Amino acid sequence: MLETQYLGYAAGILTTLAFLPQAFRIIRTRQTRDISLLWALAMNTGIILWLLYGIAKNDLPMIGANSVSLVLLMIILYCKIRYK
């Protein structure tokens, strides 16, 4: 059981960190023309659902990774709408 939780943490950290370069670039350049609004909305919705699932299962790796991912994706969505 503990080994699978470490696997969950590793997967969560890697997939969450994957959003950092995009979020930083958008904040720095304020250019979002290459980001699809539909993608940003779908990703935010999906991450919210994964977060709720993680909460329902009391799965800390899932809760942590999806909480941070949601913040980063909300920043990307906000910038997409703001800098359109």
The CATH class that applies to domain 2-82 reads mainly alpha
- Across the range 18-25, mean pLDDT stands at 94
| pLDDT given for residue 1 in this prediction | 67
User: What confidence category does residue 84 fall into, taking pLDDT thresholds of 50, 70 and 90?
Assistant: confident
Task: State the amino acid at position 64 in one-letter form.
Answer: G
pLDDT at 8 over 90: no
Write the pLDDT tens digit of every residue in 26-78: 999 999 999 999 999 999 999 999 999 999 999 999 999 999 999 999 999 99
pLDDT at 5 over 90: no
